[in-house]
Chains A and B, each alone.
Chain A
Amino acid sequence: MAEAPPVLATRDVVKRFGGLTAVGGMSVTIAPGRIFSIIGPNGAGKTTFFNAISGLHPCDAGEILFEGRRIDRLKPHQITGLGLARTFQNIRLFGAMTVVENIMVGAHVRLKQNPLQALWRSKAFREEEREAQARAQELLEYVGLRRVGNELAGSLPYGAQRRVEIARALASRPRLLLLDEPAAGMNPSESAEALALFRRIRDGLGMTILLIEHDMKVVMNISDHIVVMDHGEQIASGRPEEIARDPGVIEAYLGKGAAAGKGARRGTDAPPGAPA
């Protein structure tokens, strides 16, 4: 693959909840400047793996290295400080704050001001605040939103909230962006716009993206590399074309759908090119 050192590497990450092994020994290596996707059926452990990386649920065994540095014992806010930002599957904006404030909270780790400067309203403080606000607006426009800066985040429509969440994550100037099902609940045209945005983030901002997706169609086009998870374990890894042909993947997806007798699910979950 690439010679550049990986942005993120995990080795045998295990996460158990009581007797249930949600993630059972995941090892992935993510090269910089790529869109790396993790897919798998519902309950495959994707989000748990994500939470382990971002520190919300510390893993029980294994190692997680971000740019060569162990982060598996760090707290979420420390990890974010290092340059890793995330969004949530069920949007978690600060609903009672304005959109711009939400994004400014995202910039928290990049603001150098201390409370005394805030009390004194020093020149450096005022300048930093002005810059933070201007940058929040830029990011808002970057994700394709305008004139909503002063709206309460909770009052925006669903699709706009997803974009604000991405802008908020971008505000911390991460080098690795973790997106948890960012296209969930979007209609086809919205999700196409979202994919275009992810490409721009990768190509324009040079960020690495780790994407979780449950719907295979979404990731096939934009991913540089795909890992398929099922029952907490990796069942396949490779380029999108390879994944589409992988018999194990087809079984994981179709076997489940067929067993549950949900013919309709095949349409969305089945890999393209799979026998329907």
Chain B
Amino acid sequence: MATSLKDRFQSALAFLNRGRTPYAVCAGLITLGFALVYGSPRSIPGFLVFVFAASSIYWLRMNRSVQLGLAVFLAVVLVPILGARNVFYLEVIFQIAVFSALALGLNIVVGFSGLFNLGYMAFYAVGAYLWAFFGSQQPYLLHATVTTTALHTPFFMAPDWFYLFIFLGVIVAALLGLLLGLPVLRVRGDYLAVISLAFGEIVRQLANNLDKPLNFTNGPQGITPIQRPTMPAGVLRAFNHLMEPLVGHPVTVNQAYNILFYFIALVVVVKVIVITYRLDDSKVGRAWTAIREDELAAGAMGIDANRHKLGAFAVGGAFAGAMGVLFAASRTFVSPESFTFLQSVGVLTMVILGGIGSITGVVVGATVVTLLNIQVLQSFSLYLSQLRQSDAVVPLLGWHWSHLSNQLDPTKYQRLIFGVILVVMMIYRPSGLLPAARRKRELRDGLDGEADHG
């Protein structure tokens, strides 16, 4: 059954990949997805078709430059237009990008190097608080008691320092990675998981409690407002001038910010993917995998395991640091709530679901989980609550939807649903949706073509 399904899938794919077919299919899918979302900006199925169309650029076999061109066109032109029509989708895509970068960072630690980490959110938190502190009035409020309303205090820095802080977030989170790495080098496996978990909690508790003696983090209340980079009026005007006929209405400043953050997230995530891919395909990446596979043998091959483990923690943390800075600016608010243990587990879920160690898989995992998380389940909840308020009746059974309990709201069962998904995955597809495959190298065959072993 499973094999026949797989065969059928593969023959379908082969059919799609013949000659010029993939170009037509891809263009058709993208047009369809775009039209659906453009026509009914609130339709979830339409958006899912659009996401599927976007993924087809990757999995259909086409000329590389065509693929690249289509991807750029989709990301730079189509998505902003759709996003301006319904900002919620931009938010979804922004979150997908943020979580993809986080999952890729965690993948370097867990997937490539085999170092179990349950406190990954700590790095994200450090990046977020870094900009939250310097990008708000907080440095002037060190001696103030915790407040919920912003005082009439000037901001500490000009908002455009934000861009520099993305890089500072990288550096600080990388240093934190080294700091976590040092005690962790002595332990392996389960013990490492416990230490990293504790580390994540320590950072969160620091954020919670560093409002005294000096008020760095404003405690559980969190820091707000945090500055966003400036948006010159000219940019907005130019965007509206170009895009208004396509979007259908002028874009407001807040919508423009959504588009801006989408673009920054896009740049960061593309960088992260390139960095991950290039490190993986080098001496460092091979050393990481060797350590994961057999640390003792790796040592005997001349690999300094400690140095490479520290490196993995630093690089993995750095990605989260950059995204943390971006997160703080885009929300204009951070609080310890956003960096809980469950969030760390959520990112780990993305890595495991997508395919541990697989770059594409991890991005797919982040996309699926984020879509489920903030879109599919929520819209399903909304749909159910509309049914509940209507006087609809289940046919044949004669059961009134209005009797449906509030407790059966799907969003309340988010964790349960993830739990079920993970259990099913571990049983049927333990290496993820798109398992990691070693890259096939172009090797020349034996010159005389004779196999002389076996």
Contacts and interface: CB of A to CB of B under 8 A. Distances in A.
A42 to B, nearest CB: 21
Interface residues of A, number: 49
A75 B299 contact: yes
Nearest to A146: B446
B453 interface: yes
A163 B453 CA distance: 10
A114 B300 CA distance: 20
Contact of A92 (B281, B297, B440, B444): B297
A94 B297 CA distance: 8
A89 interface: no
Contact of B453 (A54, A118, A160): A160
B298 interface: yes
Contacts of B303: 77, 105, 108
Interface size class of B (residues with CB under 8 A): 35 or more
A133 B440 CA distance: 12
Contacts of B286: 97, 101, 104-105, 108
A97 B290 contact: yes
A75 B3 CA distance: 49
B289 A94 contact: yes
Contact of B279 (A100, A118, A148): A118
B238 interface: no
Contact of B446 (A85, A92, A97, A147): A147
Nearest to B440: A150
A4 to B, nearest CB: 25
Interface string A96-108: 1110110011101
Interface stretch (A12-20, A26-34, A137-145): A137-145
B223 interface: no
Interface in A55-108: 56, 75-77, 80-81, 85-86, 88, 92-98, 100-101, 104-106, 108
Contacts of B284: 115, 118
B438 interface: yes
Contacts of B160: none
A239 interface: no
Contact of B438 (A101, A133, A141): A101
Nearest to B286: A105
Given A160-B453, A172-B302, A92 B294 contact: yes
Contacts of B285: 118
A105 B296 CA distance: 13
Given A119-B275, A137-B444, A76 B299 contact: yes
B411 to A, nearest CB: 38
A106 B452 CA distance: 23
Contacts of A159: 453
B142 to A, nearest CB: 38
A245 interface: no
Contact of B301 (A75, A146, A149, A168): A168
A160 B452 CA distance: 11
Contact of B296 (A92, A125, A168): A92
A129 interface: yes
A113 interface: yes
Nearest to B446: A146
Contact of A94 (B282, B294, B302): B294
Given A94-B290, A137-B444, A77 B304 contact: yes
A148 B451 CA distance: 10
Contacts of B213: none
Interface string B235-262: 0000000000000000000000000000
A11 interface: no
Contacts of A111: 283
Given A97-B438, A146-B453, A108 B287 contact: yes
20 contacts: A54-B300, A75-B299, A77-B303, A80-B302, A92-B294, A97-B438, A100-B443, A101-B289, A105-B286, A108-B303, A111-B283, A115-B279, A118-B281, A118-B282, A119-B279, A121-B278, A133-B441, A133-B443, A144-B453, A146-B446
Interface of A: 54, 56, 75-77, 80-81, 85-86, 88, 92-98, 100-101, 104-106, 108-109, 111, 113, 115, 118-119, 121, 125, 129, 133, 137, 141, 144-150, 152, 157, 159-160, 163, 168, 172
8 nearest interchain CB pairs? Answer: A118-B282, A109-B302, A80-B302, A94-B293, A92-B297, A146-B446, A76-B299, A149-B443
Given A92-B294, A101-B289, A108-B303, 13 more contacts: A77-B301, A77-B305, A80-B299, A81-B302, A98-B438, A98-B439, A106-B301, A108-B302, A113-B283, A115-B284, A146-B450, A149-B441, A159-B453
